[in-house]
């Protein structure tokens, strides 16, 4: 396995150190976070947010997702109703 040495500032190290799981190396951490979209929980240290602030951000994201889903459902229902009316109209 090839190995690369990287240099990061102490500030950068502190920003990601908390993300490591028990028994996980930094290489494992980088592979893990590089393979999936980051969540608000993953990046809370980057923004120096408290757990309460992170929970607030997560709640706002959840609400936005719900509103988006509800809006999409309304649009789908509207399209379905239009298609249903269109198919009932005699030609």
**Is the pLDDT score of 73 beyond 90?**
yes
Count up the domains in the chain and report the number.
2
Its domain, for residue 22, covers 1-36
pTM tops 0.85, yes or no: no
What's the pLDDT at 77?
Answer: 92
In a domain, 41, yes or no: no
Average pLDDT value for the chain: 83
Band of the pLDDT at 90, cuts 50, 70, 90? Answer: low
DSSP state of 37: P
What are the pLDDT digits (tens) for 35-69? 877 676 666 556 666 788 778 888 888 998 999 89
Q: Do residues 57 and 19 share a domain?
A: no
Return the exposure string of 55-79: e unless at least 16 CB atoms fall within 10 Å of the residue's CB, then b: eebeeeeeeeeeeeeeeeeeeeeee
Instruction: Please check whether residues 22 and 51 belong to one and the same domain.
Output: no
Please indicate, yes or no, whether residues 26 and 53 belong to a single structural domain of this protein: no
Q: Is residue 42 part of a domain?
A: no
- pLDDT reported for residue 48: 67
Residues 29 and 66 in one domain: no
């Amino acid at each position: 396995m090839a190995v690369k040495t990287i240099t990061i500032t102490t500030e950068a190290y502190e920003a990601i150190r908390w993300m490591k799981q028990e028994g996980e190396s930094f290489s494992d951490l980088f592979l893990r976070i590089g393979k999936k979209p980051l969540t608000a929980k993953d990046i809370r240290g980057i923004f120096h947010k408290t757990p309460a602030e992170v929970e607030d951000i997560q709640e706002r994201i959840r609400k936005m997702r719900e509103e988006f889903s509800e809006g999409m459902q309304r649009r789908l229902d509207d399209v379905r109703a239009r298609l249903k009316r269109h198919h009932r109209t005699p030609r």
